[in-house]
Every structure is written in C-alpha cells, then in structure tokens.
Structure 1
Amino acid sequence: MKFFKILLIPIVALIVGWISRHWFRSEEPVDFNTDIRPILNTKCISCHGGVKESAGFSLFSREDALRKTKSGKPAIIPGNAADSELIRRLLSEDEDERMPYHAAPLSNPEIAKMKQWINQGAPWADHWAYVKPEKKALPPATNWSDHPVDRFIQARWQADTLQPSSPADKATLLRRLSLDLIGLPPTSAEMQAFLADKSPKTYEKQVDRLLASPHFGERWASMWLDLARYSDTKGYEKDDYRNIWGFRDYVIRSFNQDKPFDQFTLEQLAGDLLPEPTEEQIIATAYHRNTANNDEGGTDDEEFRTTAVLDRVSNTWEVWQGTTMACVQCHSHPYDPIRHQEFYESMAFFNNTRDEDVPGEYPNLNKYQPEAELKIKQVKAWLHQQLPAPEAAAGSKTIEHLLQFTEPKIHPHAFDQLTNAALSDGKYLGGGHAGYARLKNVNLTGKANLLLSIRSNQKEGTLEIRQDKLDGEVIGVYQNKKTIGRGNQRVLVKLKPGTGIHDLYFVFKNAAQPNPQDYVCQLEYVLFLEDLPGSSKPGYLENEQTLLALLNAEMEQIPVMRENPSELSRKNWVFVRGNWLTKGPEVQPNTPRFLPDFKNFKKNRLGLAQWLVSPENPLTARVTVNRFWEQLFGTGLVESLEDFGSQGSKPSHPELLDWLAIHFQREQNWQIKKLLRLLVLSKTYQQSSRVNARLLAKDPANRLLARGPRVRLSAEQIRDQALATGSLLSSKMYGASVMPPQPPGVWQVVYSGMQWETSEGEDAYRRALYTFWRRSSPYPSLLTFDAAGREVCVSRRIRTNTPLQALVTLNDTVYLTAARGLAQQMQNMSATPQNQIKAGYYRALFKQPNFATLHVLTRLYQQSEQHFTQKTQELQKFLPAIDHQLKNAPQLAALTVVANAIMNLDEFITKE
C-alpha cells in the first residue's frame, strides 16, 4: 500500500501538470489593444488617467498602473487577479466601493477579460499607430486585378464573400477623375476625345493629362488651406485685412511642381532655418502665421502671442501626426501616452520666433517695387566696389536682411515704468513732455544705430535715449518731425559707442507743445543696429540715405517666421493647468517619449520638421496617405483623419494603410502625384458606384469598397463646376483674393471699415479658392456647403444635407448667373426647346435625361416661358438689362430656370 501511494503521487502530479499545461495552452492570450484598452478608455480612464488619478491609481501607462496607490499597495498584481484590488473593486456589491464609481458595473465578459489579462501578467501594448509600419507582402493577384491596392481590397472581401462591382461607364469615370484631380468637370471636347479614344491606355492618358494640369495645384491647395487655417484676415474683433495670399500661391505652385511632401513639410515649418533659404521657402513659413492676431485696443500682446503659439503646437500635431494634442495643454492626455509636460516641450520648438501680437504682424517679408529693387542692386554694387569680395558678400547679406525683414524689432509692450507715457490704443508707445519709459537689458555691444518707426503731429521736441538711469548719459537723440499724413516713418538715430547690457530710458521732451496731454511722438518699434557695411568708405552717407528711403518705400509685406537671435531667446515653462500666467517647471524642446527618440535632431523647428518626416516616425506617412485616400474615396482608411490615437477609428484596411505609407515614403519619395496616380489607376477606384440590396446590407457606408465612391462635392467644387458648366469660370491663376457677388449686408463687423467691394470682369468668376476669406464672415454660399470657417485647423469637413443648400443653388447670384450662361449655350446648341434641354442636361452631367426627367424639365420650361411672356416685369427682374431686351428673352429666361434646376440635381452636386 505504501508503495502504491508513493507511485500514485508522481502520477497525479503528472496528470495535474498535463491538465494545467493543456488548459493554459488552449486559453487564447488577451490582446491589450483589442480587449483591454477599450474597457479602460470607456469605463476607467476618466477617473484614473491623464486628467485625474483618483486614490493615486492611474492607468496612463503600465508603469503607472503597477505602482503603489494611496493605500500603499498596487491595484494590479500581475499574474494574480484574485489578490488584485482592481478586480475586488470591480466585483464589490458596495456601491461606494464598486468601480466604475457610481456608474453601471462592467459586464461579466468584461470582468472575465480583465481577470484573464491580469493572470497573464497584465501585458501592455503600444497603440497600433505608434508602432513603426512594416511593409507586408502583397496578397495574391486575382483574375480581377494585380494592382497592389486592389489586391489588399479584394483580400478583405473574402470574409464577407463580396465581389467587385462592374467598371463605371467612361463618361462617369472621366467626370469623377477630373473632379477628383483638378476639381473641375471635363470640357465637352475632353469628354468627346476620351469617348472616341479606343486605345488600351486611354484612361491612363487622362490621368497623366490631369496630373499635369495647372489646375491640379488649385484643387489640392483648397484641401491644404483648411489645414493651414488660411484666411485673408487676422481674426478676433476687428478681423482686419492680412496680406498673406502669397502663401496660398506657394501652396498651389508646390502641388503643381509635385514638391515632395517631406520638402513641403520642411519649408512650411522651418523654411527660414534652411541653409540659404529662397524667397519661396521663406513665404512657406507663413503656414504658421495664419494664426489669429488681436488688434483690439487694451489686449495683452503677450497673451495673444502665446495663444498663437499654442495653436501652432496643436496644429502641427494634428496635421502631421493625426494626434489630438490640444487637450494636453491643460493636463496629460486622457487616452494616449502624452504627458502634460510634453505639450510644453513641443511648444518650446515654436516659442522662439520673433512674431508678436501687434498690428504690423511683424516679422514680414518685404517685397519691393521694381524701381526699389534697382536701388538695392546699386547699393550692393557700391559695396562690391569699396570692399574685398568676402566683406562685400557679407555686407550684401546684412543689407538684404535689413531690407527684407528689418528684425529683430522691439515693440512697445517690451517697455516698462511708463511715466506720463502710455501705449496708445494698446499698441504705440507715446509720451508727453517729460514723460519716459524704460527698456530693460539691451545689449549695446557693437550697436551704432537705432532705427525708429515713429509718428508725430508735433513739429518740435526731442526723444532722448539715456543709459542706465533717467538722468543718465544721453547716448542718442531724435529731433522730432511732423509725420501726419505719412504714417509711421523709419528714421535712424546715431548712438554713442557702448558695450554690455544696459537699461535704456526713452525720454520725451517738448515744453512748447500747446496741449501738455498730447504725445510728443509715438513709437511703433525700435531696432538696434550695428554700423552698416562700408561705413568708412566714400559715398557711405548717400547709400545710408538710400537704404533709409527704401525702408520708407511702398512695399508688399507678407507675415513670415523668423527665429530670435540668441540674446532675445525665450525660456519655456509648463503652464500649470494650461494657464499662461502660472509657470511650472522649465522645459527644453523635445518630442513625446512614446515616439521615436529626438536626440539626433537639432532642437529647433527645422529639427522638429526633419524628425516628422524621418523614416522612424510611425505617423506622418500614414496620416498623409490617409488624407489623400479620403479625398478620393470619401472616407479615410482611418475615418478619423484628425485622430489616429486610441480613441480614433480603427483602420478598415490596416495592411493596405501601412503598405501605402511605406511605398509613399520609400519608393515614391513622398511625391503626391505618384500616390494619386497609383490610387486612381486601381480598379477599386474605377468601379461603378451603383448600389444593390446585398451591398447595402453588408456594407452601407462602403468601407469595404466593393463599389465606387459616391459623395457630395466640396463647397468649392460645387461652385466651380457651376461656373465651368455655364462657361463663365475664369482660368486666371494666382494673385490677390477676389470678392465675387455675395448678398448685401453680410459684412457688418464692428470697429472695422472694411467693405465687400464686388470684383468686376473675370475676377467675379474666378475659382472659389481665390475668394476673399474673412474669418468673422466667411463667404456664405461656401459656408452653407460646409466649407471650413478657418478659425482653426480642420482635417475633415462634415457633409450635411440641409434645405439651405438647395436655396443657395436655386437663388444665389452666382448660380443664377451660371444657369443663364448654360441657357445661352443651350440656345446655341439646338433650335427646339426639347433638344436644347437635352443638350444642356448632357453638358452638365454627360448623359442623356431619361423620359421621365425630360418630361418634367420640358414641362418646367413651358410653364416658365408662359410666365415670363405674360409678366414682362418679372422678366426684367430675372434677366439683366441687356438680355431681357432680346427678342427671345422669355425663352432665354425659361431655359435659365431649367438650367438652374439641372444644376440643383443631386447628380450634379455629387461625385457619382
């Protein structure tokens, strides 16, 4: 018996071990991202995450989750769910103990998953978007297609036993392609040529033609300007004019040149920091000067400068990383591993620029008139005559910088100890007789000149610059002059040689001025300068005066980015709870720790831009290809374009997304035209958009793409298509924004004298892209069709369907004018009303109307003709003076009504 017991023990142990091994092998491992993260994000994170850490317990990261809580014990014990406080709280029947606190309890399956996860060691995993993509092997080719996109799409169909739809008919396909690639419908001639071309590569030839079109850049710039929050005005209360259309033209040219997206990124975020930047690369930096600027008197310039910088941080992370960084301004991210401090480390990249919240929107790129450019060349030629080549070259760069940027300016808000002096309208430093203001910590080493931007209504008086104290040594004096009628004048004051850092007192004097309350003069800015090149050479004084005259000449000014010199560099702190007045720890430029290391990059905007487009960054290429996919197919592979984080949408085709991202980055070298060509040549894109009951039941939103895209056109495309169909659309490109017709009384903004002055001639019919955009009052018809207001970055426009949209296309001046243009074409196309209607319908939609449609339109024509024939007063109101005097005016008016109805059809405003 004893022998039997001894023999039984190892046998039982063996059986138990076998059962245990078998049991744990059969148990599927829990996937953190699929099974656990959704539970934590929806049920736990609001109290135990980046915003709050109730009871000292945080699920922000695994390290946080496993640390001791306020009780002195960890809430999670890896491998031991039974003894983990988290599980006990989830199962508790006491409502004050059970988690989630005073909310619905977790379901039994959810609790089972949590137990299983802890028993398996509570493994953590990075969200899929934060893991560097790997290029997977292409799925097998099929009889349908061997195109890479199609192979991924068809592989996904297998689970749902879907089949591809038939190809779209040629006319539909060309209209779709043309609207997608250049934002305009094909012309009749282009359509006829395509239909007549029976060669094997006829469609491919159309793709290449459209990619080469100058209108390509206009179409895609429209998308990018939403991201750049582009506007022709500054925003806030006055919402005054901003001269920044040069940036819009830069974007158009970049798309037309097929500028690689990595270069496009570097130029916009840090073009000024590139070696020997071109004028175009400097203009590109206006991307981040599209932030709002508050001109209201009495506002704190530093507050609104800071607001602009905060916006630049959030914008950059949303556009290039698909990351919702804005909430991290106040606390750590609720759902993604971004700590509060890391927002301000990102902000440090952008917080060392010269720009201030001032009316002049400095720094600007100054662009001179041709006669001024000639004078600049003459000054440079004088330098080369007087100085050795290296000194002359350096001197030319100094002069270029002075004339191009006139930086680093110091603005009135930098002065303190104002006595009998004030910031006039919160912007200009004015001082009465014996008034003064102090400017602290000025480095005078090598500074020989002081450039003042100044104005005055007094003929006499002085402005003294005194060193270190109010009665200190006078190091410079400006003799006051009356400038009323000429605005701010740039003047040069000679300074006594000095070294070191000093406080300077600006003392205003004019004992003779009639009203002691008047300002002696007012300063817009001051700029300390070294001796200009060639100061000891013959002819210097004449050239100095020439330079001063150039600084006072008329010029075009474009807001751009410029980095602070070292003596003016800013420090960076965490803002406690996002309050810019409450400074926390000091920080240095850096990127969030959950993303690839930043240590190999320079800690400035250029380094950040290079990091964003580096091969190691897991997000930029994914986010970018997803954005262009959405423009073609209506929905992104990741639907939430703005959020690739754990609360964003899951990718419908993750392997395809990663393959496209790597292919775009490596093989296509970031070239957007190559990416778009690849996508539109796929058979997936070329499918018919017709839907049937089975497709609608299996895939109502068309996420699996077993049919072609069918979505409403963008606001700009709807307007441009109407004008093109009416043969009114201007082909004029570039230049200042225009003001097409809009309803009267729309612009009623307080404290602003800006007026909507309707453009004349072809400028009234330019593409919507060129329409003057005012943030406080955007162009109404575009806004009705969901165009972005441009106050902030918009990654994804919503698509609404409201009665207001039909009212716009039926009543807006632009659409009625376009309809009249189509009606005039219809009259020229045929002699009979019915054939005219057929011709107009085909011109708009590139297909013939069916019998029922033709019947309705013909009846509409007959009723309208009768109405206008009988009521000549209505005819005169409906048609312009010239047209209503024509012999066939009632017929033209009736055809205009029909054309207007055609342009109001869903088929016309939809990409079929």
Structure 2
Amino acid sequence: MALLCALIPVIGSARLALAENEAGDQEAAGEVLELEISEFDRDHWSFQPIERPPLPAVERSGWPSTAVDFFILRRLEKRSLAPQPAADRATLLRRVKFDLLGLPPTVEELERFEADKSPLAYERLVDRFLSSPGYAERWAQHWLDLARFAETDGFEHDKVRKGAWRYRQWVVDALNQDMPYDQFVRLQLAGDLVGSEDSIATMFCMAGPDMPDINEQDLRRHDKLNEIASTVGASLLGLQMHCAQCHDHKYDPISQADFYRLRGIFESAVPPLKRDRHVTELASYSDPIVPRLYGRGELSNAGPRLKPRPPRIASSDEPLSQFDNKNPRVALADWLFLPENPLTGRVIANRIWQHHFGKSLCENPSDFGVIADGPSHEMLLDWLAVELRQSGWNLKRLHRIILLSSTYRQASHVGFDGSDQQRETLRHAIENDPENEWYSRFPRRRLEGEIIRDALLSVSGQLNRSYGGQSVLPPLPDELVSTLLKGQWKSSEDPEDHVRRSIYVFARRNLRYPIFDAFDRPDAGASCARRDRSTTAIQSLHLLNSELAFDAARKFRDRLERETAGKDDAELLKHAFRLAFARLPTEDELGKCRELLAGEADRREALLIVCAGLLNASEFIYLD
C-alpha cells in the first residue's frame, strides 16, 4: 500500500480511498483504489456551481445592446480600452450571413438591407437568417467535427459505411427544427430508448474510425468503447477523459475508475463485434455486459467490476447515487442537464461563442481541466450558460443574443472613409490588446474550406441549393483518384450534384476533398473542437490553379456578361465587386480593372483575369 500511495499524485487534501464493492450482487474481481474528490478539486472554476452573475456596472451605459456587452465593456474599461464603432452595413451583412448561413450575400440582399433605415433592420436580418435552411447546413459541420463524422472506416481499406449520411442529415434537420440542445444530445446518446424515431442519432457514438477486418474482434470492441468514452467526455463535458484509460489523470481529478465507469454506460449498447461487420448505431442487448476496470488499459488485464457512472467531479454525490444502472444511457442524458452539473452548459455556450468570434472564451473548447487556461470572461460564460439553460436549451436564442450585441457588431478595421479618431482608437486597441483577448474589435478570420468552396460556387452562379439527401461525389483530379483503391471515389453521375453545398460532399476519412484538405479540415480521426489555421503556399496555388477555382472564375465571367449585358465596363465591375465582396470598388480599383479590360486584345480573356483576381483576393476568403 505504501508503494501504491507513493506512485499516486495527491492533489491538495485528496485522500486515497478504498471503494466499496461496486459490483452489487456480482462477485468482485478486486478492489478499486482511487483518490477521493476533495474540496480543493472542486474549487477549480469549471467545477463550481453555475449561477447567473449580475450585470456589471459600466461607464459607457449607452453602448450595450444585450447583456453580453456589459461583461465585455467592463473588461475593456478596466484596461482603458474603448470598443470600436459598429461596422458598416455591407460589412455587417457579409459577416452575419457567412456566420449563420456560410454563404456570401446577394446583391439584392445588400440593396434591401442598405435601403432599410429602420432601427430593427439588423434584428430582422438575423431572424431571417436563423430561420433559413442554410443555417443548419452551415452549423451542422461544427457539430460533425466534434462527432468525428466520416462515411468510411479509415485505416488501410477505408471501407464505406452505407447509410452513414443519414446521421449527417439528422444533425442538419435537428438544427433546422431548432431542437433544444438537451433533446439533441439525449437522442444521440439514447435515441433508440427515448426517441420516437429509430436510432440514427446514436451514430454520434459510433462515428469514429474503426477496423472491421481486424483479427482480434474483442480488442476492436475494447478500443471502440474507449473511444466513445473519450469522445463523450471531451465533446459534452469538456474533459480529456482519454488520459485516464491507462492510469489516473495526472492533473485533473479523474481516476482510471472514472473513465471505465463512463465507458460502462455504453457497454451493453455495443455488441460483441464480428469481422467485416460495420456497427454504426447503438442498441440495447438482452445480455448485459458487466463493466470492468482494465489495468494499464489492456484488454488482457481485466480488473474490478464497476457500476456505470459519469465522472464524480462533474456533480455532487447525490445525483450520482441516484444514477439508474438499468438504463445508464438515459440516466447519463438526464444527468448531463441537471442544474447540479456545471460543465454541460458552460461547454456548449463556449462553443457557440467560439464559432461566432473565431475563438472561444476558454483556451481549449474541449478541455476545461486544471492545466488549460481559464476563461477570459468567466462571468460572461456563466451568464450565457444560465441563459441557455433557463431558455429550455434553445440554441437559436443564444445565437441571437450574441449576434445582436454591440460586441459582435464592432468593426474589425477602419475603412477608407474612417476618421482620424477611429484610427487612433484602433491603433490603441491593437497596441494594448494585441491578441484581441478583450474583444476591443471584431476578430478578422479566414473562412473554412467548405465555406470557401460554397462561396466560389455561389458567386459564380453555380451553387445547387437542393436540401438534404445522400452525399455526393464531385470529380477529383486524376492524380488523386490514382492513390485510392479501385472504386473508392466514383463521381456522381448528375453534374448538378457536383455543385451542391459542401455539407453534402461525401466525407472519406483517408482522402479529404482537395480544397477542404488545403484549408485545414480535420481528418475525423478524433473529436475536433478547434480546427488548425495554417497559411501555406498550397492554399494560394489551389485557388489559382485548381479546376474548381478556375472553373468558378469562368462561370463568374459568364454571369457578369449575362447580368450586365448592354452596360458599360464600370457597371460590370461594380457588379463584380458587389458579388465578390459586398461592396463597390474604390476609384483606384475601378481604374486599374478598366485599364486591364481596355488593354487586352481579347476582352473576355481580360475579364477572366479580373474574375480570377477577385476570387483570389484575401478579402474573398476572410471575414471582417
């Protein structure tokens, strides 16, 4: 025992506890040794109970538009910073449409918004976009990243999972129906037990990579269950549970027994696996499987039996003592949304904020543990989490509060016609808040690869807005097809399918669609809370030379000629800039483009160069 105690890091006043026989009437296979959860452990910010904080006092009382602004402005004023003025209408329209729908604004939308002088014009715009089917086609991908969704197994053979697209479509439909977040999660954990539909939603649990043809099927199941527990911990609780597969977590108060208790919730829903069999949904099986702790995480080292339970640190003892072992997945879904659980609300509120501002209030959206930095605005995060819970877990309501805030509507830069005072305010903000940690301006960010593709297709007039259905396979370059096994990428026969929205493009684990790959789409090997943001020569080359980009430039040219027939070059170019950037060209831009059109013998070729230039501009792929 002395040796064991010496090997276990004791945090604060935590004590080594000998757990009671957790197997109930089952025969115990050993004893569970783990540290008790101490008051020191619970003192960490993310494990503290959530209460709605009062709105802080601010000096600029006329600036806040929603509760969000009081928390942001308070931090700015404490640092002698001032918020930026609101972005102009064209910038704001482009920002909110890409943010909510993942598409550039149309010229008609721009004209209508600029002409609407009502103080409620922006509010009506936000409501219209939130009710559009495009909202879910944009926001579903954020969740699919967390769910490590793909339609193939991965590994060497990367076999197709027939029907996997149904889970993607379920997510899209659920978001468009404004399904409350608690119901959204409940169906993905236990839809076969509580839903009126079938178990499509439970593909969330089984969406990770798999190797059906492995010889050791017991090991395959063991790894699959470990992966489910890790994904649930990271995506729903913001806890890196996978660290405890082999040993107690070195820093967070999560024991190895905590990991296998969480895994035990899913034991009887994942059947013994068979070679070459794809298992994509959870189901309840008549023969219950008793959860165990596995020493060092090894299948061959089965230890004490355990009762299915969520991690102890995430709530008080009372809810855990009432946990229903007969229906553990239903009990987990219930427990996640208890008022005593401090993590679920904080985690999803933080993710919503992250995707509106390009960064989260916490350093790592899927790690609320003791090593990760705490939130930059802890009271704001708690206010958002409480608001979400008290609204019945209504996600669109939270979107609306954030989008209508003055914080979100700030300018990211000073325009050509900005005043010297505005430039000085921005210079001071950049100098004293270089990382924009305090939101002294709107954070400029690059669009994701899927949205860049959709923007190329939209501006060039090609985008097929058909909703839902099976995934499509646009053509790939021959050199990429040659790297695949025979028949692994057979382009869809209907050319209209080649220009559907990116959310419907077939998601192969071992080969991402080229523009998605170039612009940092995750490989779906694990839950991804925050995408990488690389800047590479390949990205520029792709937009310059790929068939997708060059064909978009040709179609963009054709569209301009068609829609400005009979008008002069100035009108054509103004139309081009409004389509590409939601603004008119400056006099300098207009002059240079007109010179190019006039100086080339082949006017259509010159216009193609102009179109390609606009689609390759950083302004096209960045959001201000």
- Give, in whole Å, the separation in 1 of the partners of 2:431 and 2:593: 34
Which residue matches 2:573?
Answer: 837
Aligned pair in 2 of structure 1 residues 356, 859: CA closer, same or farther (>3 Å)?
farther
What residue is the counterpart of 1:656 in the other structure?
A: 380
Q: How does 1:81-160 map to 2 (within 5 A)?
A: 126-140=43-57, 142-160=61-79
Q: Deviations over 1:465-518 (max 9, x none)?
A: xxxxxxxxxxxxxxxxxxxxxxxxxxxxxxxxxxxxxxxxxxxxxxxxxxxxxx
What residue is the counterpart of 2:187 in the other structure? 267
- Of 159, 166, 173, the residue aligned with 1:246 is 166
* Cα contact 1:351–1:570 (8 A) shared by 2: yes
> Structure 1, residues 769-819: CA drift from partner, whole Å, max 9, x if none?
111111111112101101111121101111111111111111222222222
Residues 1:295 and 2:31 aligned together: no
* 436, 441, 445: which one aligns with 1:711: 445
CA distance in 2, matches of 1:222, 1:56: 43
Counterpart for residue 422 of structure 2: none
Q: Where does the alignment leave 5 or more consecutive residues of structure 2 unmatched?
A: 18-38, 415-425
Q: Which amino acid aligns with 1:853?
A: E
Does the residue aligned with 2:461 lie in a helix, a strand or coil?
coil
- Is the 8 Å Cα contact of residues 238 and 750 (structure 1) preserved in structure 2? no
CA change 1:59–1:329 in 2 (3 A) is: same
Is the strand fraction higher in 1 or 2? 1
- 2:609 aligned with 1:690, yes or no? no
1:249-268 per-residue CA deviation (whole Å, 9 max, x = no partner) reads: 11011101110000001000
> Does the 8 Å CA contact 1:712/1:910 hold for their aligned counterparts?
yes
Q: 1:731 aligns with which of 458, 465, 471?
A: 465
Q: CA deviation at 1:55?
A: 4.7
Structure 1 segment 819-858 matched on structure 2, within 5 A: 819-828=553-562, 829=564, 831-858=567-594
Q: Whole-Å Cα distance in 2 between the matches of residues 173 and 627 of structure 1?
A: 22
Change in CA separation of 1:825 and 1:781 when aligned onto 2, cut-off 3 Å? same
SS in 2 for 1:352: helix
Q: Is the 8 A contact 1:58 1:64 kept in 2?
A: no
Task: Provide the rounded CA distance (Å) in 2 between the counterparts of 1:195 and 1:739.
Answer: 38
| Superposed CA offset, 1:129-171 (max 9, x none) | 0111111111236121252001111111122111121110001
- Is 1:579 the equivalent of 2:298? yes
Question: Which one of the candidate residues 194, 198, 203 is aligned to 1:286?
Answer: 203
Structure 1 residues 670, 124: CA separation in 2 closer, same or farther (over 3 Å shift)? closer
CA deviation digits over 1:3-32, x for unaligned, max 9?
A: xxxxxxxxxxxxxxxxxxxxxxxxxxxxxx
Once residues 375 and 503 of structure 2 are traced to their aligned partners in structure 1, the CA distance between those partners, rounded to angstroms, is: 31
1:214–1:124 Cα change, 3 Å: closer
SS of the counterpart of 1:902?
A: helix
- 1:564 pairs with 270, 282, 285, which one? 285
- Displacement, 1:272? 0.9
Q: 1:53 Cα shift?
A: 7.4
Distance in 1 (alpha carbons) for counterparts of 2:215 and 2:95: 49
Counterpart in 2 of 1:327? 243
Considering only CA atoms, is the larger Rg found in Structure 1 or Structure 2?
Answer: 1
Say what the alpha-carbon RMSD is for the aligned residues. 2.3
1:892 aligns with 2:600: no
Residue 304 in 1 paired to residue 220 in 2? yes
Within 5 Å, give how 1:802-817 maps onto structure 2.
802-817=536-551
The answer to whether residue 390 in structure 2 is matched with residue 678 in structure 1 is no
Does the aligned pair in 1 maintain the 2:544–2:612 contact within 8 Å?
Answer: yes
Deviation of 1:56 after TM superposition, in Å, equals 5.0
TM-score for the superposition, normalised by structure 2: 0.89
Aligned to 1:340: 256
Q: Is the 8 A contact 1:294 1:357 kept in 2?
A: no
Amino acid of the residue matched to residue 347 of structure 1?
R
1:717 Cα deviation after fit: 1.1
Q: Percent identity among equivalent residues?
A: 35
Q: For residues 304 and 206 of structure 1, do their structure 2 counterparts lie closer, same or farther at Cα, with a shift above 3 Å needed?
A: same
Please give the residue correspondences for 1:540-551 in structure 2 after superposition, counting only pairs within 5 Å.
Answer: none
Q: CA deviation at 1:58?
A: 2.5
Q: Aligned letter for 2:400?
A: R
Judged with a 3 Å threshold, the aligned counterparts in structure 2 of structure 1 residues 681 and 600 are, in CA distance, closer, same or farther, namely: same
The answer to whether the aligner puts 1:59 opposite 2:10 as a matched pair is: yes
Structure 1 equivalent of residue 117 of structure 2:
198
Distance 2:474 2:515 in 1: 11
Distance in 2 of aligned mates of 1:351 and 1:758? 39
Structure 1 123/576 Cα, relative in aligned 2: closer, same or farther at 3 Å? closer
4+ runs deviating over 6 angstroms: none
Larger relative contact order, structure 1 or 2 (CA cutoff 8 Å, min sep 6): 2
User: Residues of 2 paired with 1:748 and 1:580: CA distance?
Assistant: 38
Cα 1:356–1:731 change in 2 (3 A) is: farther
CA-to-partner distance for each residue in 1:634-656, whole Å, 9 max, x for gaps? Answer: 11111311111111122111001
AA in 1 matched with 2:285? N
2:321 counterpart residue number: 599
SS in 2 for 1:757: coil
The code of the aligned residue for 1:655 comes to M
Contact map agreement 1:238 1:752 (CA 8 A) in 2: no
Counterpart secondary structure, 1:674: helix
CA contact 2:42–2:48 (8 Å) conserved in 1 = no
Give distance in 1, aligned partners of 2:107 and 2:475: 27
Alignment of 1:33-48 (within 5 A): none
Q: Write the distance in 1 (CA, Å) between the matches of 2:590 and 2:273.
A: 59
Q: What does residue 256 of structure 1 align with?
A: 176
Question: Do residues 638 (structure 1) and 362 (structure 2) align?
Answer: yes
Instruction: Quote the Cα distance in structure 1 between the aligned partners of 2:598 and 2:524.
Output: 44
Q: Distance in 2 between matches of 1:779 and 1:357?
A: 31
Q: How far is the alpha carbon of 1:586 from its aligned partner? A: 1.7
Q: Which one-letter code corresponds to 1:329 in the other structure?
A: Q
SS of 1:895's equivalent in the other structure is: helix
Closer, same or farther in 2 for the Cα pair 1:361/1:860, shift >3 Å? farther
CA distance in 1 between counterparts of 2:363 and 2:461 reads 36
Measure the CA separation in 2 of the matches of 1:272 and 1:663. Answer: 30
Q: Please state whether the residue corresponding to 1:585 is helix, strand or coil.
A: strand
Q: Tell me how far apart the structure 2 counterparts of residues 683 and 611 of structure 1 sit (CA, whole Å).
A: 35
- In the alignment, is the contact (CA less than 8 A) between 1:129 and 1:644 conserved in 2? yes
CA distance in 1, matches of 2:294, 2:482: 37
Task: Give 1:838 shift.
Answer: 3.0
- CA distance in 1: counterparts of 2:282 and 2:314, whole angstroms: 27
Structure 1 residues 779 and 689, CA gap change in structure 2 (3 angstroms): same
Q: Distance in 1 between matches of 2:201 and 2:6?
A: 49
